[in-house]
Structure 1
Amino acid sequence: MATRRRFLQSSLAAGAALALPVAGTAAPASPLKGARVVSTWDFGVGANAAAWKVLSGGGSALDAVEAGARWAESDLCNPTVGRCGNPDRDGVLTLDASIMAGDGRCGAVAALEDIDHPVSVARAVMEKSPHVMLVGEGAQQFALANGFRKTPLLTDSARQAWQEWLKTSQYAPQINAERRLRPGDSHNHDTLGILAMDAQGRLAGACTTSGMAWKMHGRVGDSPIIGAGLYVDQEVGAATASGVGEEMIRNAASFLVVELMRQGHSPADACREAIDRVVRKRPEDSKRLQVCFLALGRDGRVGAFALHRGFVYALQDGGPGPHDVLHDAGSVYTTEQK
């Protein structure tokens, strides 16, 4: 519980910094007052910077989360996101992404091959098709018809990692390491989930991932599934998830977090309660699974919780003081306790 107290204290401190002017000075008028962006993991710092550039230029929350996710898909080289992702057990790199606005508009792609920036394809699905999700060859066909280019994305390092994996062919996803990482470190930390509120109070979110390394060909996790890896409701707030996607799908997890906020829970408590429900359903798996949630309330409050220690998130806002800070999320258990 000490971890949770520290987490809540840091969240409250961040909120106070946003609300209070520097002593002895008038609070400066800011076109970005109230705007903020939060992202999962240490590499969320870079995603936030890309999103904040959009917000600073007058862009919407939807534009901002797309920009942040695009940064992760191309500028970041991480084995679980975008062009540097590890392939499935057949050596094929497939990408998943989703995007959602607070008014319910959403789009997603899954099992997309050889198309950079799946989050932008997901937005095109939202804006240029009558559908919410396209998958596999159909998603690729749609992307090509809408101006995206087919580009081989599997890197030499990812191919070498796959060839090394073939020596044992063991599929055993690992819980993230229990340590704070430096921004930019490229560790196996799964999904980039990003949530934003612009100066007009509009909410949006996006998720992007290459999924679990060495998964069965055709496996789709939670990231492109609206309500599992991502959910946004303008009346309440937004939530995103990271970890073992099957658990998010089984529990409609991000939708659950938002609905708990609707019932009056704070973002942090909503994330905690959602994890408790996951554990109650599958207690025998709690030792080997990581489940993480990040939430942003309509009022600007931010909260996060994870099943095991090690989950961090990045927050950037327009208040005084540091504008881009990594926070440790609260955790229900440590890996030693379970």
Structure 2
Amino acid sequence: MKRRSFLQTTGILGLASPALLEQNTSVPEPIIIATWKNEKGTLAGYQKIMETGKALDGVEAGAWVPEADPNETTVGYGGYPDRDGHVTLDACIMDHLGNAGSVTFLEHIMHPISVARAVMEKTPHVMLSGEGALEFALSQGFKKQNLLTEKSKQVWLEWKKKAKYEPKVNIERHDTIGLLALGKAGEIAGACSTSGMAFKMHGRVGDSPIIGGAVFCDDEVGGACATGLGEFVMKTLGSFLIVEFMRQGKSPQQACEEAIMRIVKRYKYQEFQVGYLAMNKKGEYGAYSIQKGFNFTITKNGKTEVIESASYMS
């Protein structure tokens, strides 16, 4: 090949290379993962993603399942009350564009995750709390109802006899529900919902409505979510920390492990549980917890699996 022909050919290839690269960039299949054993939730979320294509719709739909389950005592309807008998809910949601919404100390609304999404999409704010959050929810058409089931009420009445506050590790092999998903376009979204610690002080808010604590998403990197004793997630901004670790090149598994070690080293491990779940933009995921007993659920390609997480304590 003559020099001029070679330069012309390579010049054309050089101009075309971005397009070629774009064609070779594969978008991972839609995937949704959730803390704890939550097959019905991840399946509902996955089906919603397949219907609308959006990761945000998937994590919201996935949270709806435990929120409406009267047998789920750590999330939504049927959640254990605080020490004064009030079921107070916290939730947050975040999309791939960095938009976020959350509610704290919300009563009487079964699906706080949807109120959090409404805060994100219909107000200039990120967080609404207490009576203000309830007023906003009612203005958006959400229905007010009693969330304290007879079963949870009886457990609370029994607790009142001693009124001793003892947070339980891996309560019923469940806790706060955190979700992460990739949509059809490969975009990331995350959500978290909880009724908080059983018999907590009235007014207590954990990490679940905290962006960067319970959930954080960055569409350049991926996302993370948390479960367990929220005070320690808040003190280390665990989900934000994990995403930054992934930005630095760590795998989701390595990032979760580093975030757990940050808690263990700083707070000289006590008898409590924190578990993290992370997923990058490639659809790779990881999980790690302080104590054994943490698991998570994944739905991909229409198949659902519950996986036991590795832990610091063997």
Question: Does the alignment reach a TM-score above 0.5?
Answer: yes
Q: Which SS does the other structure have where 1:294 is aligned?
A: strand
- 1:33: Cα distance to partner? 5.5
The residue aligned with 2:152 is 158
**Uncovered stretches (5+) of structure 1, i.e. residues with no partner:** 1-31, 178-186
The residue aligned with 2:170 is 176
CA distance in 2, matches of 1:115, 1:147: 11
Letter of the 1:173 counterpart: P
| 1:86-165 → structure 2 map (5 Å cutoff) | 86-165=80-159
Q: Which SS does the other structure have where 2:199 is aligned?
A: coil
* Structure 1 residues 145 and 159, CA gap change in structure 2 (3 angstroms): same
The residue aligned with 1:197 is 182
Q: Given the alignment of the two structures, is residue 282 of structure 1 paired with residue 264 of structure 2, yes or no?
A: no
Q: Given the alignment of the two structures, is residue 229 of structure 1 paired with residue 209 of structure 2, yes or no?
A: no
Supply the RMSD in Å over aligned alpha carbons: 1.3
CA distance in 2, matches of 1:248, 1:33: 29
CA distance in 2, matches of 1:301, 1:59: 19
* Structure 1 residues 49 and 76, CA gap change in structure 2 (3 angstroms): farther
The residue aligned with 2:236 is 251
- 1:287: Cα distance to partner? 3.4
* C-alpha contact 1:80 1:212 (8 A) present in aligned 2: yes
- 1:261: Cα distance to partner? 0.5
* C-alpha contact 1:79 1:188 (8 A) present in aligned 2: no
CA distance in 1, matches of 2:141, 2:173: 31
- 1:58: Cα distance to partner? 3.1
The residue aligned with 1:333 is 313
- 1:46: Cα distance to partner? 1.2
The residue aligned with 1:272 is 257
* C-alpha contact 2:252 2:287 (8 A) present in aligned 1: yes
Letter of the 1:212 counterpart: M
- 1:77: Cα distance to partner? 2.4
- 1:176: Cα distance to partner? 1.8
**Uncovered stretches (5+) of structure 2, i.e. residues with no partner:** 1-26
CA distance in 1, matches of 2:124, 2:32: 29
Q: Deviations over 1:56-103 (max 9, x none)?
A: 213300001000001110146211001010000001000111000011
- 1:175: Cα distance to partner? 1.5
Letter of the 1:317 counterpart: K
CA distance in 1, matches of 2:173, 2:209: 19
Q: Deviations over 1:164-207 (max 9, x none)?
A: 00011111112127xxxxxxxxx262101011001210110110
Per mean C-alpha deviation after superposition, the further-off stretch among 128-137 and 310-319 is 310-319
The residue aligned with 1:38 is 33
* C-alpha contact 1:98 1:107 (8 A) present in aligned 2: yes
CA distance in 1, matches of 2:170, 2:92: 23
* C-alpha contact 2:28 2:186 (8 A) present in aligned 1: no
Q: Given the alignment of the two structures, is residue 295 of structure 1 paired with residue 278 of structure 2, yes or no?
A: yes
TM-score by length of 1: 0.83
CA distance in 2, matches of 1:199, 1:59: 5
* C-alpha contact 1:33 1:318 (8 A) present in aligned 2: no
Q: Which SS does the other structure have where 1:87 is aligned?
A: coil
Q: Deviations over 1:124-144 (max 9, x none)?
A: 000000000000000001101
Q: Which SS does the other structure have where 1:57 is aligned?
A: helix
CA distance in 2, matches of 1:36, 1:141: 35
* C-alpha contact 1:80 1:188 (8 A) present in aligned 2: no
CA distance in 2, matches of 1:214, 1:125: 27
* Structure 1 residues 76 and 263, CA gap change in structure 2 (3 angstroms): farther
CA distance in 2, matches of 1:188, 1:34: 29
TM-score by length of 2: 0.89
Q: Which runs of 4+ in 1 moved over 3 A?
A: none
The residue aligned with 1:25 is none
Letter of the 1:133 counterpart: M
State the percentage of identical aligned residues: 48
Which is higher, the Rg of structure 1 or of structure 2? 2
Letter of the 2:109 counterpart: I
